[in-house]
Amino acid sequence: MSHVPDHFEETLRKAGLRVTQPRLAVLTAVRDHPHADSTVIAESVREQLPTVSRQAIFDCLNTFADTHLVRRIQPAGSGARYELRVGDNHHHLVCRSCGAVVDVNCAVGEAPCLHTTDDHGFQIDEAEVIYWGVCPDCVAAQKVSPT
């Protein structure tokens, strides 16, 4: 696979994972389609490796999420989506109309970025913030479409 960056092989090795063509293809698909769901990722992988099963692709995604090689997000009303941007403290903006997802930096800048007045004894290490709105393309379409 000539389109796979060399660092993906190193990334897998550092995570203690074997380097396989399906794993490289899944990482490449996630890189090429940030915030995509598993269906889009599977279609992309199968363009490169037609014999890879959907289950193998799902297994790769789950393994990568568990080992923090990819981040899995799941906005309300949406299936899981995947991205390579991990290890920083960013959040997401989701369009209510078309479902587009984009990264936004944390307004506070440090994890977990939200401090509750009562943690109920939990050791909080992460807060997930999703901003909802309407993207510029959908706003423009609404202005020109008949109501």
pLDDT in tens, 71-119: 999 988 888 999 999 988 788 999 999 989 999 988 776 666 667 778 8
**Distance between CA atoms of residues 141 and 17, nearest Å:** 45
CATH 3.30.1490.190 spans which residues of the chain? 88-144
pLDDT in tens, 45-62: 999 999 999 999 999 999
Q: What is the CATH number of domain 6-73?
A: 1.10.10.10
The reported pLDDT for the residue numbered 1 is: 39
The reported pLDDT for the residue numbered 55 is: 97
Q: Which two tokens stand for residue 35?
A: 């915030």
As a whole number, mean pLDDT of residues 12-16 equals 95
* Domain 88-144 sits in CATH 1.10.40.30: no
As a whole number, mean pLDDT of residues 118-144 equals 84
Relative orientation angle of helices 38-48 and 21-32, to the nearest 10 degrees: 120
What is the reported pTM?
0.81
Alpha helices in 5-127 (DSSP H): 6-14, 21-32, 38-48, 54-66
Q: Which two tokens stand for residue 12?
A: 């897998």
The reported pLDDT for the residue numbered 121 is: 87
The reported pLDDT for the residue numbered 6 is: 65
pLDDT band, residue 68 (cuts 50/70/90): very high
Percentage of the chain lying above the pLDDT 70 cut: 88
Higher pLDDT, 36 or 76: 36
